[in-house]
C-alpha cells in the first residue's frame, strides 16, 4: 500500500509548519464555504492512506463542510490559458443568472469550457476541471 504525501503548502508560522494534509483539511470548519477552487495539479486525484479509503483534497474540503470544490483531474499548466479559464469561470459564476440558481456553478464551468474551446485552447486546459458537490 502506498501512503499519499500530498499536502497544501502555506506560509509557515510558529503554530504550524505550513503544510496541510487532507486529513487536517477535513477537520476545518468550512460550513460557510460555497466554493473551494483548487487551482493546482491533480487536486481531484488521491491515493489510499493506510486503508482502502481514498482521502484527496476534494473529499477533504467536502468533509470539512464546503458546498462544492472545483478541482483538476491532471496536471494543469501555470500559464495564461489556465488563468483565462479561471477568470472566465469566476466571471460567469458572478454574473446575474438566466439559468436557475441550482445550476450556477455548473453553468459557470460550462461557459468557461466553451470560451476556451472558442479560443481553440487545447483540451488539457479546459477538460481537466471537474466540479464536485453542490452545483448551486
Burial class (CB in 10 A: 0-12, 13-18, 19+), 127: middle
Does residue 52 lie within any of the structural domains?
A: yes
Q: 3-state SS of 71-133?
A: EECCCCCCCHHHHHHHHHHHHHHHCCCCCCHHHHHHHHHHHHHHHHHHCCCCHHHHCCEEEEE
Does residue 69 lie within any of the structural domains?
A: yes
Q: Which domain holds residue 64?
A: 8-133
Domains in the chain: how many in total?
A: 1
From first to last of its 136 residues, the chain has per-residue pLDDT tens of: 333 456 777 788 888 788 888 889 999 999 999 999 988 766 666 555 555 566 788 999 999 999 999 998 888 888 999 999 999 999 999 887 666 777 899 999 999 999 999 999 999 999 999 999 988 8
Per-residue pLDDT, 19: 85
Q: Looking at residue 56, which CATH number applies to its domain?
A: 3.40.50.1460
Per-residue pLDDT, 1: 30
**C-alpha 36, offset from chain centre:** 6
Does residue 124 lie within any of the structural domains?
A: yes
Amino acid at each position: 500500500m502506498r501512503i499519499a504525501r500530498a499536502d497544501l503548502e502555506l506560509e509557515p508560522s510558529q503554530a504550524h509548519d505550513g503544510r496541510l494534509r487532507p486529513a487536517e483539511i477535513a477537520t476545518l470548519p468550512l460550513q460557510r464555504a460555497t466554493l473551494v477552487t483548487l487551482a493546482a495539479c491533480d487536486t481531484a486525484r488521491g491515493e489510499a492512506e493506510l486503508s482502502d479509503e481514498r482521502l484527496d483534497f476534494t473529499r477533504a474540503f467536502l468533509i470539512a463542510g464546503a458546498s462544492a470544490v472545483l478541482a483538476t483531474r491532471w496536471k494543469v499548466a501555470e500559464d495564461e490559458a489556465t488563468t483565462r479559464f479561471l477568470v472566465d469561470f469566476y466571471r460567469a459564476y458572478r454574473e446575474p443568472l438566466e439559468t436557475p440558481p441550482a445550476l450556477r456553478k455548473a453553468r459557470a464551468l460550462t461557459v468557461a469550457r466553451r470560451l476556451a474551446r472558442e479560443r481553440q485552447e487545447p483540451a488539457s486546459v479546459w477538460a481537466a476541471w471537474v466540479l464536485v458537490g453542490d452545483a448551486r
